[in-house]
């Protein structure tokens, strides 16, 4: 072993640099892991082991505010993560004093960011690094934006010494792939999160929503749509295509074709509405078909080209009493009454449903009028149905 500048010691273990043959395999695994958080974490942990690192995280730092967000990848305890975000990021002398070393696509080394000989005198080392057995850091700069930087940070204890040239070379050789793979992973994760959020929002919508592609095949639907098509009463799925069960089948196909042609730019105006009779004898389904903005994708990706909205007149969903109370400061009893009126019940029916006297529900209705700023029952129902309380 030999002494390094600043008093650190290089061990024989750390002197054994990561082999060049490991890089291609890791790069291949890195791209294969995109889209799978557990797989990506495992590959990055493997990179950390190649670098004799005890810890790895994605480190986002606001240099002006001295605030950070760390995304733990390997061996970062939750209590230290919280302590770093809450306090120690503000005394991170590496980031505070070494900002000049942070460049897009570059690498950062802790002994170049702050003098090794002075590190032991800092709160950053005494109260954060040393209790975790850490001393040295190397970061692959993933991105910079004015006062904000993001790095893939590798850290280890004092015994191996600071990161040397073989390890720097290894990270430099894979850093562009790290940046690209993480960028792809983030974009995919954001797209998946957005899709999940939109799906969750549509599931709250009481009307059935069905999205179809250029073949009329269903590519997505909300929960109400799934329930409706599962019944097969008027509309159903034939293999994966939306069809009407009866004499409206041809009319529905025409509406779908017109909407799809409009989306593809082959028709000026397509889509429209129709009533679909139901074998059960219940009131017809109210169907509206509309084109969707075309996603300019390529490579044969299947996308939704038309949306189908279906209303079931006889399937009313009660308004949320909690939502009504929160919006209009109604009591629980007033919310229940308002919900029944919105479902079409008159005062006498509502009184019977609630097991109250007609006098009591009239008193409650006057209070509801006052709180909602309405004067007539029809005006009240319109207000309630136009608000979010009808969401599931």
Q: Quick: pLDDT tens for 14-48.
A: 444 555 567 889 999 999 999 999 999 999 999 99
Q: How far is CA 98 from the centre of its chain?
A: 34
pLDDT of 297 strictly over 60: no
pLDDT of 1 strictly over 90: no
pLDDT of 247 strictly over 60: yes
pLDDT of 314 strictly over 80: no
Q: 390 pLDDT band (50/70/90 cuts)?
A: confident
Could you give the CA distance from residue 133 to residue 80 in angstroms, rounded to a whole number? 12
pLDDT of 373 strictly over 70: yes
pLDDT of 6 strictly over 90: no
What the chain holds in terms of domains, given with CATH numbers, is: 2-191 (3.30.450.80), 204-311 (3.30.450.20), 321-390 (1.10.10.10)
pLDDT of 72 strictly over 50: yes
pLDDT of 348 strictly over 90: yes
What tokens does 94 get?
A: 């590496």
Distances 181 to 106, 174, 188, 295 between C-alpha atoms, Å: 16, 10, 10, 24
Q: What is the pLDDT of residue 296?
A: 56
**Which stretch of 90-94, 243-247, 360-364 has the lowest confidence by average pLDDT?**
243-247
Q: What is the pLDDT of residue 32?
A: 96
Distances 56 to 53, 134, 180, 224 between C-alpha atoms, Å: 7, 12, 18, 44
pLDDT of 110 strictly over 70: yes
> Percent of the chain, pLDDT > 90?
68
**Token pair 């608000």 is at which residue?**
387
pLDDT of 168 strictly over 90: yes
Task: Please state the pTM of the whole predicted model.
Answer: 0.68
Q: What is the pLDDT of residue 21?
A: 62
Would you give the end-to-end CA distance of the chain in angstroms? 68
Q: What is the pLDDT of residue 178?
A: 94
Q: What is the pLDDT of residue 4?
A: 37
Q: Which residues pair with 388 in a beta bridge?
A: none
250-276 pLDDT tens trace: 999 999 999 999 988 887 788 899 999
| Other CB atoms within 10 A of residue 21 CB | 7
Q: 243 pLDDT band (50/70/90 cuts)?
A: very high
Compute the average pLDDT of residues 184-201.
90
Q: Where are the beta strands (DSSP E) in the chain?
A: 2-3, 9-10, 55-62, 67-74, 107-109, 136-145, 148-156, 208-212, 218-221, 235-238, 241-244, 272-276, 285-291, 306-311
Q: 332 pLDDT band (50/70/90 cuts)?
A: very high
User: Is 368 within 8 Å of 376 (Cβ atoms)?
Assistant: no
Q: What is the pLDDT of residue 214?
A: 86
pLDDT of 134 strictly over 70: yes
pLDDT of 246 strictly over 90: no
User: Is 350 within 8 Å of 285 (Cβ atoms)?
Assistant: no
Query: Which helix H or strand E contains 174, and what residues bound it?
Result: helix 165-203
Q: What is the pLDDT of residue 68?
A: 94
DSSP 13-64: HHHSPPPTTHHHHHHHHHHHTTT-HHHHHHHHHHHHHHTT-SEEEEEEEETT
């Amino acid at each position: 072993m030999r002494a390094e500048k600043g008093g650190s010691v290089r061990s024989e273990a750390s002197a054994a640099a990561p082999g060049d043959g490991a890089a291609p395999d890791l790069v291949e695994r890195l791209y294969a892991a995109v889209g799978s958080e557990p797989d990506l974490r495992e590959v990055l942990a493997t990179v950390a082991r190649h670098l004799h690192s005890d810890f790895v995280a994605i480190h986002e730092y606001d240099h002006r505010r001295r605030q950070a967000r760390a995304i733990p990848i390997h061996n970062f305890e939750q209590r230290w993560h919280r302590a770093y975000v809450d306090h120690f990021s503000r005394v991170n002398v590496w980031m505070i004093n070494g900002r000049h070393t942070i460049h897009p696509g570059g690498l950062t080394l802790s002994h170049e960011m702050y003098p090794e000989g002075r590190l032991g005198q800092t709160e950053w080392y005494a109260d954060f690094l040393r209790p975790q057995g850490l001393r040295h850091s190397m970061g692959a700069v993933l991105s910079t934006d004015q006062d904000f930087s993001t790095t893939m940070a590798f850290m280890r204890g004092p015994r191996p010494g600071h990161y040397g040239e073989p390890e720097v070379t290894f990270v430099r050789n894979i850093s562009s792939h790290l940046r690209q793979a993480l960028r792809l992973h983030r974009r995919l994760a954001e797209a998946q999160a957005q899709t999940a959020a939109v799906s969750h929002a549509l599931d709250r919508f009481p009307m059935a929503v069905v999205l179809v592609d250029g073949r009329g095949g269903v590519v997505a639907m909300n929960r109400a749509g799934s329930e409706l098509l599962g019944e097969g009463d008027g509309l159903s799925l034939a293999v994966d295509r939306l069809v009407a069960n009866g004499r409206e089948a041809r009319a529905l196909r025409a509406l779908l074709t017109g909407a799809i042609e409009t989306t593809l730019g082959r028709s000026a105006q397509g889509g429209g509405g129709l009533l679909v009779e139901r074998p059960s004898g219940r009131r017809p389904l109210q169907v509206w078909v509309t084109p969707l903005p075309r996603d300019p994708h390529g490579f044969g990706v299947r996308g939704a080209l038309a949306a189908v909205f279906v209303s079931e007149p006889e399937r009313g969903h009660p308004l949320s009493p909690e939502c009504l109370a929160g919006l209009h400061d109604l009591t629980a009893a007033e919310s229940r009454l308002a919900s029944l009126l919105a479902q079409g019940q008159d005062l006498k029916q509502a009184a019977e449903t609630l097991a109250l006297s007609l006098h009591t529900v009239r008193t409650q209705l006057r209070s509801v009028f006052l709180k909602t700023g309405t004067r007539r029952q029809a005006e009240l129902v319109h207000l309630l149905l136009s608000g979010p309380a009808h969401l599931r």
